[in-house]
Structure 1
Amino acid sequence: MAEFNTIRTATGTRSTAQIDAGLRTHMNKVYGTMSFGMLITALAAWAIAGLAVTTDPSAAAAQLPNGTMLSGLGAALYLSPLKWVVMLAPLGFILFGWGSLLRRGSAAAVQLGFFTFAALIGISMSSIFLVFTGFSIVQTFIVTAIAFSSLSLYGYTTKKDISGWGSFLIMGVVGLLVAMLINMFLQSPAMMFAISAIGVLVFAGLTAFYTQEIKNTYVAHAAHGDQEWLDKAAYDGALNLYISFLNMFQFLLMFMGQQE
């Protein structure tokens, strides 16, 4: 329910009941957009992984240590310098493109940007189908979905103000990135285990935090009736939750994934 005392039913403003109904619609849009983005990611990853391998030894461009034969596309994506472009393209989009798109683009352009980002993530994650069994990927996804739903529901329903979590959790994300960069050189299994455990906790907290932030942002601005802004805010919220879900899934896969 709407919780801001500044919302009044005077002329030119929306009633609390209207805002409550609008909030439900807004959250449905956030979750729907996020879910469709996940579907795009899964389909892109699966399709690229299928094109990246071959069963014909004469057509193989390279072979992985586990015996998987790579096609020319697979060798380019996973073994050549192009792999860095594939890995860093989604990060570059978030750092240098998303903010500008939110400020200057239309709601339709922001939506397209989100789905483009989801496809880029799918391409960059396609290698998991070459490393982990399909069963363990599905199993991890289900566990992540259950955990995400519970955490997001907590963020939506709790009366406790958890906005103070934000800065602490973002610092945790920065720490994780630094630790992962260091471990690229150290290749320490113990350090990777610690990173994965902390990563699950950090993005679990961010799931609840972002859900409450999406709700509060809507309630604070819905009375103004700027639908274009609210639509873009829904896509921005969907992106934040999508990233939290995706990172929880990847870190849990480190624990639950069974290698081919």
Structure 2
Amino acid sequence: MQNDPYNNNEDRIVGNRDQQTGGPKIRVNSEHDSELSKYFGLVYMIMFAGVAITTFISWLLAYPLRETFVDFLYKGGTFAILLVTFAPLVLVFVMGHNARKDASKTVNLAIFFIMSACYGITLSVTLMASNVGSIVNALGVTAIIFLLMSIVGRNTKNDLQRGRRTAMIILIGVIAISIINIFLRSTMMEWIIDYAILGIFTWLIASDQQNIKTTYYQLQDSGASSTTMSNYATWSALDLYLDVLNIFMVLIEIFGGGNSRN
């Protein structure tokens, strides 16, 4: 940024720690809260734009273009399935690489929106296997979870980042177990996996919200460029987008009694 607002003498910050309490430094200038709110607004705007794209693509393929899409999957076979599954993952890694350098913010946004469209293709398969009631219930509960955990993440004084690595390790374990269960076909294990994923990503929403705030202050303190700030906003939007998407999909499975999984 060209002008670092934390150079203002009215902002009472000493180093990285509070000299009296030894705790994390506290920012008391209301101007900083205003700038942080604008940054959160940018993150949310990008995230909801991605959600809108995913929603439109998934609806388009699951309903108006259902027969055409099913025919594509049938004729494409394994290649089509692998393309739909792994294309978004490749784009996620590209975005992660670009977020950590002054790559073009326009390119990063384009990648994010393309990835959102790809996930729309993946989600359409789930929607085709689900009833409308399950989808509506999952949508409502997802919105409530996101709202509540966002409030927690932005306002809690507890450090939610300490358990982040543990959560990711558990998630990797859950994914491994779910792959094994493809062959075991244990209904009980499927329910355990669903609720484990729901719990992990619910917690990650709060953790990611807190991490957005922490990252914003770190970037401001380091004098990061506007391009870097925008790239990290896009990356933060991706984190929240994936949290919401995973919660929504697992809730569809829970409300649908596992029909969408089958």
TM-score range, shorter chain: 0.7 to 0.9
AA aligned to 1:99 is: G
Report the RMSD for the aligned CA atoms in angstroms.
2.5
Q: Distance in 2 between matches of 1:219 and 1:99?
A: 19
Contact in 2 for aligned 1:37/1:118 (Cα 8 Å): yes
Q: Distance in 2 between matches of 1:247 and 1:71?
A: 23
SS at match of 2:63: helix
AA aligned to 1:124 is: T
Partner of 1:37: 50
Q: TM-score, normalised by structure 2?
A: 0.82
Contact in 2 for aligned 1:51/1:73 (Cα 8 Å): no
Contact in 1 for aligned 2:167/2:200 (Cα 8 Å): yes
Contact in 1 for aligned 2:73/2:81 (Cα 8 Å): no
Partner of 2:202: 204
CA positional deviation for 1:51: 5.3
AA aligned to 2:234 is: Y
Contact in 2 for aligned 1:90/1:120 (Cα 8 Å): yes
Q: Distance in 2 between matches of 1:48 and 1:227?
A: 37
Which of 66, 78, 91 is equivalent to 1:53? 66
CA positional deviation for 1:80: 4.5
Partner of 1:114: 112
Partner of 1:191: 189
Q: Distance in 1 between matches of 2:88 and 2:227?
A: 25
AA aligned to 2:188 is: A
CA positional deviation for 1:74: 4.6
C-alpha distance 112-83 of structure 1, shift in aligned 2 (>3 A): same
1:44-65 deviations in Å (ceiling 9; x for gaps): 11112235534xxxxx9xxxxx
- The gaps in structure 1 that reach 5 residues or longer are 1-6, 55-59, 61-69
Paired residues, what number? 238
State whether structure 2 residue 143 is matched by structure 1 residue 145.
yes
C-alpha distance 53-256 of structure 1, shift in aligned 2 (>3 A): same
Q: Distance in 2 between matches of 1:76 and 1:90?
A: 21
Q: Distance in 2 between matches of 1:247 and 1:47?
A: 20
Partner of 1:16: 29
State whether structure 2 residue 124 is matched by structure 1 residue 98.
no
CA positional deviation for 1:129: 2.2
State whether structure 2 residue 213 is matched by structure 1 residue 215.
yes
Contact in 2 for aligned 1:204/1:248 (Cα 8 Å): yes
C-alpha distance 221-81 of structure 1, shift in aligned 2 (>3 A): closer
Partner of 2:24: none
CA positional deviation for 1:207: 0.6
Contact in 2 for aligned 1:176/1:199 (Cα 8 Å): yes
Contact in 2 for aligned 1:156/1:208 (Cα 8 Å): yes
Q: Distance in 2 between matches of 1:235 and 1:227?
A: 12
1:79-105 deviations in Å (ceiling 9; x for gaps): 54411221122123223x222332352
C-alpha distance 9-203 of structure 1, shift in aligned 2 (>3 A): same
- The gaps in structure 2 that reach 5 residues or longer are 1-5, 14-26
Partner of 2:133: 135
Contact in 2 for aligned 1:52/1:73 (Cα 8 Å): no
SS at match of 2:230: helix
Contact in 1 for aligned 2:91/2:112 (Cα 8 Å): no
